[in-house]
């Protein structure tokens, strides 16, 4: 008779941030994670399949925090009874004291990661044996990055017969606490500066390399598309406008796939390397003291810098921010994170004007005004010295493996392709229809008089309109007729204004989905007001100087 395969059981992997949970789950399953939504949650967990179990890797718990990711992990604890609890050997007393009460009454086992940081001894083994005897729960020490076959088998066997966690049990403390060795990032004077440079370096390299590659591919793509464009242009119609019009899918597609996508991919790889090595957490801690006056923490700034790759995954990643600072972080991303789409177009305008050096004052002014804006909008409570803006302790630096880098990279790329690309196509279609009916030109005519407030000629109106919808709209500044009437100061002012006046529609929709429509509207009104003031200040002071 055919045997019936055993039913799949769900086991929730729970632990604090940076404990190696994902490495452990991937090693147990022997494969990459599958991103999925758990029980209708809008926050994606990762699932891994073993022969008999479905392992649900939850976001890391930032203890004593109210982040959305922490709430998601705690929600999974409420809905599942089988738990694989992951604690770090280097801080095992603290982790057990914090996490054991959360799993009391559940069934499972404890895996102790970072065991390679501990020098094994008879005393340590005796402590583990006493814990197992007192609790009847298995304690399995491992190096999650290099899981041996024996450890792999022990964990899977323990999952077959999980033991209940005691309701009230206090393990005998081991008495050690091992902190990572300090680096230059912990230097009292230069640590913050080094952290900022390390955060900016991936964006600079990714944009530079991607633009060099794109500059070679772009002419080839246009040559390849020329027959299709010629064929479609023979029958002018609304369909022709949608496909090959100034804002058509075929017309604007190369800008996205040749210029923006390479930048996003390269930046995601850099960021994945930073995450997999533990460098992100070290940078966060180094910058943490500098950011309290702005109502942010070090982990918030990392997400603002992520926005230079793509605003969409950066906004989504703010789920891991404290609720008291999350909206401030989202606002900072919307205002000051010049995504690869926008930054690539900005470099294109400066290059077309033969003024590539303008990128330096542009970034300086963008950083300065974003800091002022964030300071003004941050709630007073988040800027208080009494608000600790919780951040995890310093992590160990590791040489990242490609599998870990790719796992982190996939998260950013999937969010970009799943969220930004579809909305890009929708916006292109809407913009083409509006242009076909002459509504965009009419709108430009209405706002032409307002350009004088910023020392700009009427020709700047159209780029401002389109950059408010999609950031590549500022490329209209690069048209020869427009550049011919603009001074360097006007180019700088125009590019800055179009970049910060409003978040692009993709970002605005993501913010509305992550927060609320009301918050998105308030954010856009507030951001537009600040952008107008800062742009007028740039134009007037620049002209005076």
CATH number for 140: 3.40.50.300
Residue 192, Cα to own-chain centre: how many angstroms? 21
pLDDT at 393 over 70: no
Instruction: Please report the pLDDT score of residue 66 as a whole number.
Output: 57
- 276 contact partners, CB below 8 Å, separation of at least 6: 398, 400, 401, 404, 405, 407, 408
pLDDT at 374 over 60: yes
Residue 211 and residue 106 in one domain: no
Our count of domains for the chain comes to: 2
Torsion of CA 405, 411, 412, 417, to 10 degrees: 130
Closest listed residue to residue 86, CA positions, set 111, 65, 120: 111
Residue 84 and residue 205 in one domain: no
Q: What is the DSSP string of 126-138?
A: HHHHHHHHHH---
In which band, very low, low, confident or very high, does the pLDDT at 34 lie, cut at 50, 70 and 90? very low
Residue 94, Cα to own-chain centre: how many angstroms? 29
Model pTM above 0.85: no
Q: Percent of the chain, pLDDT > 90?
A: 23
Residue 203 and residue 131 in one domain: no
Domain boundary among 129, 164, 199: 164
Half-sphere CA count of 349, side-chain side, radius 13 A: 35
Integer CA distances (angstroms), 127 to 88, 95, 133, 134, 347, in order: 15, 16, 10, 11, 60
- Is the residue at 170 inside a domain? no
Cβ atoms of 133 and 162 closer than 8 Å: no
Residue 225 and residue 367 in one domain: yes
pLDDT at 434 over 60: yes
Residue 217 and residue 155 in one domain: no
- Is the residue at 179 inside a domain? no
pLDDT at 159 over 50: yes
Residue 336 and residue 419 in one domain: yes
Cβ atoms of 125 and 99 closer than 8 Å: no
Most trustworthy range by pLDDT among 104-113, 261-270, 406-415: 104-113
- Is the residue at 173 inside a domain? no
Give me 388's structure tokens: 């600790």
Range of the domain at 70: 9-164
Instruction: Please report the pLDDT score of residue 319 as a whole number.
Output: 83
- Is the residue at 395 inside a domain? no
Closest listed residue to residue 158, CA positions, set 113, 96, 120, 107: 107
Average pLDDT for residues 472-487, to the nearest whole number?
79
Residue 440 and residue 476 in one domain: yes
- Is the residue at 107 inside a domain? yes
On average, the pLDDT of the chain sits at 82
Half-sphere CA count of 66, side-chain side, radius 13 A: 5
Closest listed residue to residue 146, CA positions, set 275, 7, 273, 26: 26
Most trustworthy range by pLDDT among 140-149, 214-223, 228-237, 250-259: 140-149
Residue 155 and residue 191 in one domain: no
Residue 283 and residue 209 in one domain: yes
**CA geometry: angle at 240 spanning 238 and 242, to 5°?**
70
Strand-pair category, 9-15 with 34-37: unpaired
- Is the residue at 85 inside a domain? yes
Residue 145 and residue 34 in one domain: yes
Burial 443-452 (b: 16+ CB within 10 A, else e): ebeeebeebe
Local structure of 379: helix, strand or coil:
coil
- Is the residue at 4 inside a domain? no
Residue 332 and residue 430 in one domain: yes
- Is the residue at 46 inside a domain? yes
Domain boundary among 164, 194, 217: 164
Residue 81 and residue 194 in one domain: no
Surface-to-core class of residue 146, CB atoms within 10 Å of its CB (0-12 exposed, 13-18 middle, 19+ buried): exposed
Strand-pair category, 139-141 with 107-113: parallel
In which band, very low, low, confident or very high, does the pLDDT at 2 lie, cut at 50, 70 and 90? very low
């Amino acid at each position: 008779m055919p045997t019936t395969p055993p039913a799949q059981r769900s086991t929730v992997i729970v632990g604090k941030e940076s404990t190696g949970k994902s490495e452990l789950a991937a090693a147990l399953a022997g494969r990459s994670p599958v991103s999925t939504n758990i029980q209708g949650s809008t926050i994606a967990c990762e699932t891994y399949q073993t022969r008999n179990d479905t392992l649900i890797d939850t976001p890391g718990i930032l203890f004593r925090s109210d982040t959305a990711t922490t709430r998601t992990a705690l929600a999974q604890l409420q809905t599942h009874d089988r738990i694989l609890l992951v604690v770090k050997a280097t801080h095992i007393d603290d982790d057990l004291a914090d996490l054991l009460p959360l799993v009391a009454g559940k069934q499972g086992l404890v895996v102790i990661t970072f065991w390679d940081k501990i020098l094994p001894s008879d005393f340590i083994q005796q402590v583990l044996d006493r814990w197992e005897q007192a609790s009847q729960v298995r304690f399995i020490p491992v190096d999650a990055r290099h899981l041996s076959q024996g450890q792999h088998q022990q964990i899977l066997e323990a999952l077959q017969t999980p033991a209940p966690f005691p309701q009230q049990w206090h393990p005998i403390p081991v008495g050690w606490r091992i902190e990572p060795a300090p680096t230059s990032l912990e230097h009292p004077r230069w640590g913050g500066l080094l952290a900022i440079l390390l955060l900016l370096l991936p964006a600079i390299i990714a944009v530079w390399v991607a633009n060099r590659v794109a500059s070679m591919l772009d002419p080839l793509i246009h040559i390849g598309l020329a027959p299709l464009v010629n064929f479609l242009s023979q029958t002018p119609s609304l369909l022709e406008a949608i496909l090959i019009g100034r804002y058509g899918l075929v017309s604007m597609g190369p800008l996205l796939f040749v210029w923006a996508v390479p930048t996003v991919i390269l930046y995601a790889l850099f960021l994945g390397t930073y995450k997999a090595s533990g460098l992100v957490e070290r940078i966060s801690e180094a910058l943490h003291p500098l950011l309290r006056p702005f109502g942010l923490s070090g982990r918030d700034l990392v997400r603002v810098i992520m926005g230079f790759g793509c605003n969409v995954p950066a906004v989504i990643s703010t789920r891991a921010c404290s609720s008291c600072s999350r909206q401030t972080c989202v606002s900072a991303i919307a205002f000051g994170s010049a995504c690869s789409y926008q930054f690539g177009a900005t470099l294109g305008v400066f290059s077309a004007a033969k003024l590539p050096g303008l990128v330096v004052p542009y970034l300086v002014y963008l950083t300065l005004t974003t800091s002022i804006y964030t300071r003004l909008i941050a709630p007073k409570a988040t800027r208080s010295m009494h608000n600790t803006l919780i951040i995890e302790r310093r992590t160990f630096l590791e040489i990242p493996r490609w599998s870990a880098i790719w796992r982190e990279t996939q998260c950013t790329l999937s969010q970009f392709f799943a969220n930004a690309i579809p909305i890009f196509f929708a916006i292109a279609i809407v913009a083409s229809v509006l242009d076909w009916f002459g509504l965009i030109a009419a709108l430009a005519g209405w706002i032409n008089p307002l350009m004088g407030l910023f020392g700009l000629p009427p020709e700047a109106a159209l780029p401002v309109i389109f950059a408010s919808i999609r950031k590549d709209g500022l490329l209209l500044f690069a048209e020869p007729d427009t550049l011919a009437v603009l001074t360097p100061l006007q180019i700088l002012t125009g590019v800055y204004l179009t970049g910060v006046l409003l978040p692009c529609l993709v970002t605005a929709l993501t913010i509305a989905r992550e927060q609320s429509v009301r918050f998105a509207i308030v954010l856009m009104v507030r951001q537009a007001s600040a952008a107008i003031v800062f742009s007028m200040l740039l134009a007037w002071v620049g002209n005076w100087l």
